[in-house]
Amino acid sequence: MRGPQVTVIGAGSHFFGKPVVHKMATSPVMAGGTLALVDTDPKTLSVMMKIARRVFAETRCGVKINPQILL
């Protein structure tokens, strides 16, 4: 079964983005879903993408990541 698609606007924020990444990686409901990380700052989005990739790889949750930059 395919998981949900979740979009996080302002994902570059460590205060907001990191808990969402952790929740997606550990929730059985989110397994196999897609997480779209959206931010206006490419540098902070890049950092959050690295964190998400590492967490998802370690947990083997099957969540796909879709980064998007809003200009």
pLDDT tens string, the chain, 71 residues long: the values are 578 898 988 888 878 888 889 988 999 988 889 999 999 999 999 999 999 999 999 999 999 998 888 76
Show me where the domains of the chain are located. 5-69
- pLDDT at site 59: 94
- CB 36 within 8 Å of CB 7: yes
- pLDDT at site 61: 92
- pLDDT at site 1: 54
Check residue 13 and report its DSSP letter.
Answer: -
- pLDDT at site 15: 82
Domain 5-69 CATH class label: alpha beta
Integer-rounded Cα Rg, in Å, for the chain is 11
- pLDDT at site 14: 77
